[in-house]
Structure formats: C-alpha cells, structure tokens
Amino acid sequence: MSFLWYTVAVMVKIYKIDGLDCANCAAKIEQAINKLSEVERAELNFAAGKLTVTYADGADVKRAFLKLVKTADSIEDGVTVSDAQAAEEHGRATRKLIFNVGNLVKLSGVVLFIAAVILQFTAPGGHGHDGIGYAWNLWAGMDEPREVVYTLLYYAAFFLGGYEILYVCGKRILSGRFLDENFLMTLVGIGSLIMGENLEAVAILIFYQTGELCQRIAVEKSRSSIANLAELGVKSVNKYVADGRIEQVSPERVDVGDRLLVKAGEKVALDGVALNAAVLDTSAITGESVPVEVGAGDSVYSGSLNVRDVFTERVRKKYDESTIARIVSMVENASAKKAKSEQFITRFSRVYTPAVVALAFLIAIPFPLIFGLDLQQWIHTGMIFLIVSCPCALVLSIPMSFFGGVGAASRRGILFKGGNYLEAMTALDTVVFDKTGTLTRGVFEVAALLPAPGVSEDVLLEEAAWAESQSTHPIARGVLERYGRPVDHARISDYKEYGGHGVSAVIRGKRVLSGNLALMREHQIEGVTESALSGTHVYTAADGKFLGCLVLSDAVKPDAAAAIADLKTLGIKRTVMLTGDKRAAAEAVAQAVGIDEVHCELTPERKLEILDSLIAEKRGKGKTAFVGEGINDVPALARADVGISMGALGSDAAMEAANVVLMTDEPAKLPLAVRLARKTRQIVAVNIVFSLFVKAVIMVLSFVLQALNAVPPNFILIAEFADVGVALIAILYAMTILRYNPVAKRPARAHAHTHG
C-alpha cells in the first residue's frame, strides 16, 4: 500500500487508503467511520484515495485506528489503511501475493468455464452444434457422462471464478450490510444454478468481475494524474554549507535563508529568490509552455524546471509551504468537496437499489402467483431486474467526472478546490473584477512628480517613499522603486494604514500622510491641488502641509479585453469592476477592456457591501464570481459564490481564500475555466441520462418480452453485459475530460497602455 499521512492539527490525520475502487463502498466506509465514538469527523476522498480523520478530544488514536481499519475492511474486503512505513512495505508485499493467487484462482475458473462451454456445445444433440460432437469419437454415445462432466465443470468454475464475490457477500451478510452489488450478483448466480442455467450462472460472475477489473483500471488511470503531480517534487537539493561547499540534502532539511544551487535540467525544489539570471520552464505549475527568463532578485517557484545554465536561489519558504506542495494538496483535497450532482447520486443510489430489489421480488414471485404465470420464467425476469439495479455506472462515473475535470484544469494552471466550485462555475452569469493586478499588470511606475509651490521633487519623493515603505501595495512598490535609495526604518514610527485611502507614519518626528484626496480631506490638509493628469494619484502631506502629488501609471494586461469579450460569448450577462482607484483611471481601464459597470474609490468594506448587493439582486438565480489577487480582496473572495484568485504566485492570502486559483496572471484563463467546468457538467449529465435510460430499457424490455413469452435465450447475459458495459462506457467517457482541448478566443495583444 502506498502510504501518506501527516498531522494537520493535534488530532487530525490523513491516511492513504488502498484497494478501494467502488465509490458506493467509499461512501459506506465514510459513513461507518463517522459513527465511531472516537471519531469526530471523517472524510474519504475516493478519487485521491485519501482518508482524513478528525479524532475526538481524549481519544486513544492507536486504538481508534485499529477500529477504523477493521470497519473499512468489514465493508470492502481488501481495503488497507496504514500509518507506518514498515506496514506499507509489508502490506504491499502481502497484497501482491494475494492478488497473484487470487488471479490464478479466477483464471482457473475461466479455463474451466471455457472447457464446460466447449463440452456442452459440441455434444451430439446439443445446442445447435450436433455435427461437431461426432468428430469426438472418445465421447461418441456417451452423452450422459459428458453432461455430468460439463455440469461439474460449471459448478467448479462458478465457485473458483466467483469466489471473491461469494466470500465478500457472505462476509457482509454476517455484518448486516449486505445490500450491494456482491449480494445481487450472488443471488442471481445461485438462482441461475438452481434453475439449471449453469452457463448463465458462471457467465454472470465472470462478466461482472471483468467489468470490475476494467473499472479498476480506469479509476487508477485517473488517479495517476495526481501521482504524476506529486512526482513534481524533488528528492534532494544542492545546499551551500560552510566554506562554500555543496552538500546534497532532502528538501525537508532546508531552512528559510539557505542558498541552493540549481543545475541545468534540475527542478526547483523550494520557493525562493534567484541570485543570478536563469531560464525556467514553469509549465508544471502554470500550464504555460513558454520558458520564463528571471533575473537576480526575481522570485522562483518550486516545480519549475531550470532549462539552461546553473543558478543560485535563496530559499524564502520551507518545503511544506512551497507552491508545488500547496498545489498537490489542493488538487488531492478537491474531491472531498462534492458537487450537488455527486451528493444527489449518493442519496439517489441509497433509494434506487432497494426499490429495484423490491420490484424484482414482486415481479419474480407475487406477480406470477397472482396471475397464474410460469413461476420459473418470472423468477428469471426478476433476476434481470436485480442485475440492472446495480448503481455502479452512476456512483462511480459521476465522481470520476468531477475528479477528471479538476485534473484537466490543473494541467492548464487552473486549480479548483472542489467539485462543488467547478459545478458552480457552470452557472456563472455575473463576474466581478478587482482592477489592480487583475485586469491591469499591477506594476506601477511614477509617471510624474507634481510638487507644491516651494517644495522640491526630491523632498516630495522622499517623504512619500518613506511613508509608503512599510506598505505591501503595488503603488507603494512603484514609489519606492522610483526613490531607489534605502529607507531607515528605525526613524519611522506609528505607522497606520487607512483601508482604500492610504497610509500615515511619523517620520523623523513629522506626521506624514500619503494617499488619495479622501485621506487629505479627512485630515483637513489645506492647499491641496487636484491633478488633472490621467493615472493613479498619490497625494503627500507632512505636519498638515501639502507637499504635492505623484502620478503613477499601470498598464492593462494584454489579454484582458479578449478575456472579457470571451466571457460574454459564453453567456456572462454582467461584468463589474470594483476598485479603490479614482473614477478617471477606473473608467479608462473599464472602457479599454469592455467592463459593463464600474464602482470606484472604494474601501475593502465598501467593495464587500457592493458585492453583497449584487448577489442579493440575483435572489438565487445564477452565480456571482469575484476575481482578485490582493490581501484587500480576501473578504470579497470569501463572500462570492465563486472566489477566483488571479496570480497565485503573488498573494498567499488570496490563494487561501479563493475557491479557484489561476496560477498565472492571465485573465484568459477565466473563460477557459468556465469551458472546462461546463464540459465536465455536460459529461455528468450525459452519464446520468445514458445510465438510467439503458437500465430502464432493459427492465421494460425484459418485462414485455416475458409477458409475450418471447425472451431470447441467455437474455440475462445481455442484461449483465449492458450493466457492466454501461458502467465502463460511463467511466471512459468521464475520463475524456482529461483530453478535452477547448477552443477559446485567442487573446489579442492590447496596443493601448491605459493608466489605472
């Protein structure tokens, strides 16, 4: 068993659960574990094969774990859970042996079944192949011994080929949880044997197990996308140690501030800052295939591949906090947050299967007895209903559809934190955008210095830079970059931020204000001259005296206009921009990219109020998304129906608060995310309709044909093949999302650089 667990909190553990390939059984295991007195909450992520357990306070974890393992095994035979590396190796070896022995036993059953079929259908006077039997001189004139032999072969094939189904069924009957597909197959198989339909009895079990094997392969194939993602991690790194020597160590042993050497062809293991130029392939985390050039002082992210030359990085985050670790965690945990369709199918299957079993019983026994019909024939029809009642196609294909959608999106640098958010994306009709860093590049440059009379440009710039030096806002970075000199933070005190307005600080004994006009008016600064220049304005004052204004420019992202246009082609009815910037700059950006509605000069609180009103207007009709990237966007990201973080490589807080994370700063990824979500939803809908339609057709057809006394030979095998085939087709169709390549409008390069 491959094993993974780690402590999220004192009493929360995550285990790897292996041998589980049935979504319906996964739901039963989760429900049973949640009933354990030592467990406060358990979530089983079927798609990722992970079990998250929150233990109750004071619980004996070791004892509870043993009960947990026993509970899982009682529901699904062969399921293994482990919390030790030694148990991992032992479990893997044992399971491999059991798997091989089990396969040999099943294979022997298949061989005996084939031999029995050959003997039966080559017998003189047999099933349409009379002439063939005469060529077998050994058996000539010995029809009765031959019949005894192939009958015994059928019985041997039944118990050898279907031993696993029979064993699991018996085990679950003893536990009281027997109403599942194993019970149904056992009931139908034994019923067929009793009625003398030996070929059907064995074929039913073999077909079913063949279908289960194909389903298991399909499930493992989908899980491999997570395994491939986890392999993006690096096992060892080249760390600089004393005297400039380089030592190979595991990434977990690297601390913040350490220096690492990254050779050509190696992956970056931890987030850091480049100390010299490099060219990186970031496709693993952003989905973009074009290599990125970085210079000294630029950020580099784990999972990136060093394309050429050696470079050195200084680590700024520990291994478990790195970008790739968070990506793997988010994608692995995505299936735990189930979409409404998944929740519906889980509830539906709990009612559907017992209902069909009850209907099968009524058709098999009371119906023919009441109307004086052939009891054996109608029992045969009832068994067809039992076969069709298996909900595998629904309960397995639908979670796999959402899991596949999450995986397909992650390959393109779009991270959905759950199937519920992916489903919500399909119902979007309003998208609300932040401006700076979302629609614009968020890289401000000082375009003009407008000092007040009697104040020099140098004084204006220095006071503004010192005041902004403790802010993380892009505007502050632009001012500091223009200043270009070190700031003595020891001479700065009483720093304050005024949300959406600016900052203030005591600098060398003077109270300096830096922000917008509202901040100047709030502090009753006299002599403020409002600038008419286009751009973002930073007004500065010291000890109540107005010093002047800095004008900064911010360019619109090249693909922003095309992305907005593409969203509108997808049926998004309303696009809104919320910004703390001035009206002139905000409206210029809105006009450049095609935004319908603008609200400007907003504080974070006011942004949230407007978003609330937009959601309230809809009254549950359609979904509203908020797209942002900064710390000040966190409340809105959390409040929206779907919070979408732009540029996860920039803001950790936004990444944590968002429901969907776009790993690049490209607005073009947003319509791509909508297309992927809608395609996934379409696959889910098709699978639901297709599965229920085929099941209904088989049930109605079997009833009608039996009523007309026109049931073809071995029709029950057709029903079994249809059931298994439907499940397999549904799963394979669900996995087509992994190869889905939506054709989106190609983003056009914006020629105008609009200030904002």
CA distance 293 to 304: 12
CA distance 406 to 149: 54
| pLDDT in the model for residue 217 | 66
**Range in 249-253, 274-278, 401-405, 432-436 the model is least confident about:** 401-405
For the cut 70, the answer to whether the pLDDT of residue 368 exceeds it is yes
| pLDDT in the model for residue 48 | 63
pLDDT (mean) for 595-599 = 95
**Range in 474-478, 658-662, 749-753 the model is least confident about:** 749-753
| pLDDT in the model for residue 605 | 81
- Mean pLDDT over the full length of the chain: 80
pLDDT (mean) for 253-259 = 91
pLDDT in tens, 529-572: 888 787 788 999 999 999 999 998 888 888 999 999 999 999 99
pLDDT in tens, 78-121: 677 866 343 343 344 334 444 457 678 888 888 998 898 888 88
Instruction: Report the catalytic residues.
Output: 434
Backbone angles phi, psi at 2, to 5 degrees: -75, 140
pLDDT (mean) for 399-420 = 81
Going by pLDDT thresholds of 50, 70 and 90, the confidence category of residue 482 is very high
CB 432 within 8 A of CB 626: yes
pLDDT (mean) for 220-228 = 55
Going by pLDDT thresholds of 50, 70 and 90, the confidence category of residue 138 is very low
Please report where in the chains the tokens 């294909």 appear, as a residue. 397
pLDDT in tens, 695-717: 888 889 989 998 898 888 778 87
pTM of the full structure: 0.66
CA distance 529 to 455: 13
| pLDDT in the model for residue 132 | 34
pLDDT (mean) for 127-135 = 37
pLDDT (mean) for 227-251 = 76
pLDDT (mean) for 739-749 = 58
In terms of phi and psi (left: phi > 0; alpha: psi -120 to 50; beta: otherwise), the region of 81 is beta
| pLDDT in the model for residue 88 | 40
For the cut 90, the answer to whether the pLDDT of residue 523 exceeds it is yes
CA distance 176 to 380: 26
Going by pLDDT thresholds of 50, 70 and 90, the confidence category of residue 232 is low
pLDDT in tens, 170-185: 877 877 766 667 777 7
For the cut 50, the answer to whether the pLDDT of residue 410 exceeds it is yes
| pLDDT in the model for residue 22 | 65
| pLDDT in the model for residue 10 | 46
pLDDT in tens, 278-319: 988 876 666 565 678 888 888 888 888 888 889 999 999 888
For the cut 90, the answer to whether the pLDDT of residue 437 exceeds it is no
| pLDDT in the model for residue 133 | 36
Going by pLDDT thresholds of 50, 70 and 90, the confidence category of residue 479 is very high
Q: 19-28, 159-168, 411-420, 672-681: which has the highest mean pLDDT?
A: 672-681
Nearest alpha carbon to residue 297 among 284, 310, 283, 278: 278
CA distance 352 to 755: 60
pLDDT higher for 604 or 372? Answer: 372
For the cut 80, the answer to whether the pLDDT of residue 30 exceeds it is yes
pLDDT higher for 667 or 8? Answer: 667
How far are the Cα atoms of 440, 461, 605 from residue 515, in angstroms, in the given order?
A: 20, 13, 17
| pLDDT in the model for residue 495 | 93
Nearest alpha carbon to residue 416 among 327, 283, 481: 327
